[in-house]
Amino acid sequence: MNILFVGDIVGKPGRAAVRHFVPALRERLGLDLCIGNSENAAGGAGITPESADELLESLDLLTSGNHTFSKREIGPYLDRPGCRQLRPANYPEGTPGRGFAVLDTRGGARLGVVNLEGRVFMKPLDCPFRAADRVLASMRADGVRCVLVDMHCEATSEKNAMGHYLDGRASAVLGSHTHIQTADARVLRGGTAFITDVGMCGPWDSVIGLRKESAIERFLTQRTASFDLGSGDVHLQGALVEIDDQTGRARRIERIQERMPE
């Protein structure tokens, strides 16, 4: 199966890039499933039901991260039956929503998707490594061979550690959160596709999606500045992963980068 995972979708520009590119990529690359991280989809921080529904017109499933609950209205949405918006699986018991899902392709193959959030320089959540163990064991018991993990965290070391920890047990471990696409896409020795960060969908004429002037002001003054989105040079970034349906091992991983017309 061929899977597209696109990185942090930042505000209206990121949503526009998804609408513009994903349907064409689905056809051109023969994609079976398309997934994206939506935690910055609503105004650059958080998710609303409206932003999630808009993205799900182009994508099959959404993951998220530390900004999942920045918008209060997302909680009830996550508990709706059949909701295709995930939150990290290592959030405490009783948190709205779910941290994993199993998707069916038109060809009859199944893909498990796991959403995890790291702890280094982030919130003191439950251990993402042990959460991965629990979810993968459940999926294996259900006969799911192919599993994609969104490892949403700040530290590159934590992302790399998760890739090696799950090597041979997950089909792909793909990093998100830092909005900068890294150049280390590869298939690890055990057959797991890995990249430290898939990048973002949003404006490059910015500081990781934020208006340059606002971001620089924060660094210069160490004071809170307005949280405004950038607006120019919009890109879609992500990773294409090809997985052997029978073994669950990745055959290849390729970085994806598309630029919106001016």
d(C-alpha 127, C-alpha 134), whole Å: 11
Look up residue 146 and give its two tokens. Answer: 């192919």
Angstrom CA distances, 167 to 17, 66, 193, 194, 227, stand at: 32, 25, 8, 9, 38
Look up residue 4 and give its two tokens. Answer: 């597209």
20 has catalytic annotation: no
Q: Count of CB atoms within 10 A of residue 72's CB?
A: 9
- DSSP 8-state symbol, 99: S
- Choosing from 20, 67, 152, 164, the catalytic residue is 67
Q: Which amino acid is at 29?
A: L
Phi/psi for 13 (5° steps) reads -60, -40
β partners of residue 236: 258
Say whether 150 sits in a helix, a strand or coil: strand
* Closest alpha carbon to 165 in 124, 109, 127: 127
d(C-alpha 13, C-alpha 202), whole Å: 5
β partners of residue 170: 167
Question: So which residues are the catalytic ones?
Answer: 67
